[in-house]
């Protein structure tokens, strides 16, 4: 997949994310309440969760990179992976600082899922099994971000959103 095609796909997914967010707002979505205790996650709490997620993401992905380095990858693979991960880490921190935490949550889910897909499919085909340590890091972070999303989105909304990303 060429860089241009990849960036076009990411742009389209961000647009879809925004559309999904607006649709969610139109049906009265702001935060999911726990009917048993009447609790609603606030924007400040969600933003805090996303900032904490960004820190965990950096830690897990950095450790995965260190594990990848111990496998003595080829210089070309090392350069591509380092470049991609620097971009991913920068994106995650930028998203966590987004002024609208609901949009940031959707962006964070999108970036994490796309990262996993890129490492499980594209990077593994190009650079072999050594990429598995990085794919595993993205899978771990995907579970993490979905647990945060479960505090805000219903199961149905999460399913619909996942389908949009995978289009």
Mean pLDDT of each 10-residue bin along the chain, 167 residues long: 54 47 40 49 94 97 96 93 95 96 96 95 92 96 96 93 89
Residue 35 counted as domain residue: no
Residue 6 counted as domain residue: no
**Count of domains forming the chain:** 1
Residue 22 counted as domain residue: no
Residue 12 counted as domain residue: no
d(C-alpha 159, C-alpha 149), whole Å: 11
Residue 11 counted as domain residue: no
Contact between 113 and 162 under an 8 Å Cβ cutoff? The reply is yes
Residue 32 counted as domain residue: no
Rounded to two decimals, the pTM is 0.76
- Enclosing domain of residue 123: 40-166
Residue 82 counted as domain residue: yes
């Amino acid at each position: 997949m060429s860089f241009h095609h990849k960036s076009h796909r990411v742009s389209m997914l961000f647009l879809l994310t925004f559309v999904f967010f607006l649709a969610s707002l139109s049906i009265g979505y702001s935060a999911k309440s726990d009917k048993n205790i009447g609790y609603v996650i606030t924007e400040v709490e969600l933003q805090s969760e996303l900032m904490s997620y960004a820190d965990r993401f950096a830690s897990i992905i950095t450790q995965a990179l260190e594990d990848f380095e111990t496998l003595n990858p080829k210089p070309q693979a090392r350069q591509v992976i380092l470049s991609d991960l620097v971009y991913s880490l920068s994106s995650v921190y930028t998203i966590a600082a987004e002024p609208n935490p609901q949009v940031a949550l959707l962006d964070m889910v999108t970036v994490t899922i796309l990262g996993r897909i890129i490492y499980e499919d594209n990077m593994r085909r190009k650079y072999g099994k050594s990429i598995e340590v990085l794919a595993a890091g993205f899978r771990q972070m995907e579970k993490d971000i979905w647990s945060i999303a479960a505090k805000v989105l219903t199961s149905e909304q999460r399913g619909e959103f996942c389908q949009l990303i995978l289009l």
